[in-house]
Amino acid sequence: MADADKSFKVVLLGEGCVGKTSIVLRYIQNTFNDKHLMTQHAGFFQKNININGKRVCLTIWDTAGQERFHALGPIYYRGSQGALVVYDITDNDSFIKAKNWIKELKTMLGNDISLCIIGNKCDLEKTRVITLAEAEAYAKSVGAIHYSTSAKLNKGIEDLFLDLTRRMLSNVSTSTIPSSSNTAQTTNRSERIPIVPDNEPTTKPVCC
């Protein structure tokens, strides 16, 4: 990783239980857990990818969605080149929360960040409450790209990260981030670091 051509910081934001951790674990480890292991504070993952002939190091920050952690958001989104704002297609409140995150990101970072809005759990089509048309129209209105994913069925996730990385590369094509800013990693491996799950799976009243 020390010899990556580019290094990007990406942050996952969104209400608790929408599937942020599931998305990143599916992407990094190709695993899925049916239980909700609530993230505390945040954790980060790293992944090296090769794209358009460039070696890119992604550092992906997975934040905690519970409201009591909201104030920590700026710690993780500041300095990010990409944001994945996730909602659950079966949960209207999570879409409202996603809109609030978008508003905050635009206020704090302007256009300095590539915004993605992710409708996760698209395997639960029967209980969908946010239509694709509504979500896409909203994304367009704020200059974001909308993606539909299912961490459970591994749908849309690889494409989402590839597409975001291409966008981040094209945004910085004129400014080089020195590879010396990377952490010391030399192989193409993924690393999961400080996610701290609860000992017990979260129960229904706490989230979905």
Ligand X SMILES: Nc1nc2c(ncn2[C@@H]2O[C@H](COP(=O)(O)OP(=O)(O)OP(=O)(O)O)[C@@H](O)[C@H]2O)c(=O)[nH]1
Residue-by-residue DSSP string for 84-135: EEEEETT-HHHHHHHHHHHHHHHHHHTTSSEEEEEEE-TT-GGG--S-HHHH
Q: Shortest CA distance to 144 belongs to which of 179, 180, 106, 182?
A: 106
Of positions 1, 4, 11, 19, contacts ligand X by CB under 6 A: 19
Q: Which residues contact 152 (CB under 8 A, 6 or more apart)?
A: 22, 32, 121, 123
* Minimum gap (Å) between residue 180 Cβ and Mg ion: 31
Tell whether residue 22 is a contact of Mg ion (CB under 5 A): no
In the complex with ligand X, the residue whose CB is nearer, 144 or 157, is: 157
The mark string for 42-71 relative to Mg ion (x by CB under 5 A, - otherwise) is ------------------------------
The 3-state secondary structure of 13-56 reads EECCCCCHHHHHHHHHHCCCCCCCCCCCCEEEEEEEEEECCEEE
97 is a contact residue toward ligand X (CB under 6 A): no
Residue from the set 7, 11, 18, 39 that interacts with Mg ion by CB under 5 A: 39
Binding residue for Mg ion (CB under 5 A) from 9, 10, 12, 21?
A: 21
Query: Is residue 94 part of the contact set for ligand X (CB under 6 A)?
Result: no
Q: Which is nearer to ligand X, 150 or 182 (CB)?
A: 150
CB of residue 62 to ligand X, shortest distance in Å: 7
